[in-house]
Amino acid sequence: MKIITTKLEGCLLLEPSVYTDQRGYFFESFNKKRFNEETGLQVDFVQDNQSFSSRGVIRGLHAQLGEHAQAKLVRVLEGEVIDVAVDARPGSKTFGEYVAVNLSAENKRQLFVPRGFLHGFAVLSETASFFYKCDNYYQKDAEWGVDLLDKDLAIDWQLAQEEMIISDKDLHLPSFKQAIDRYFNK
């Protein structure tokens, strides 16, 4: 496994060692001992989630507050997405900055999104099956989010605006600045 650091502290891109032959391919998608040793983290994933979406769907930008915060290890089982992590940790050197990486069934890359980050993705292929591990259980009343089209964040979702399929809930989220004021500057 190759670990690539991003510009956001703790947010890591993982490229697995893939073994191919005439039968197809094999790779180890997760090994807790190796992951913890090679990343220097102590992560204990407790929940797996999967979603299936069509081209143009954007899910996010979401996170969980306080003791319910989640770290995630995300990957694509089918198709391709642009995956985005936004540093929402007040006091961080990269607060308000984001990384965007293409994850696909073909490249088999994974992104580790630390606690305190907003997360979202946009489907670039006809369909995509998205899978992620979480180190904490989902708690609906601890969820918060940010407008994924926030002009201050200026995320390039690699889709034309008329292609975007966004849930009603996500269309009515506050800007990054408004959300930070609401949840962290009380």
Check whether the bond before 61 is cis (ω within 30° of 0): yes
Cβ(124)–Cβ(89) below 8 Å: no
Q: Is 25 a catalytic residue?
A: no
- Give the chain's end-to-end CA distance (angstroms, integer): 42
Radius of gyration of the chain from Cα atoms?
16
Residue 86 Ramachandran class (φ > 0 left, ψ -120 to 50 alpha, else beta): beta
**Catalytic one among 19, 25, 62, 138?**
62
Q: Is 183 a catalytic residue?
A: no
Residues labelled catalytic:
62, 132
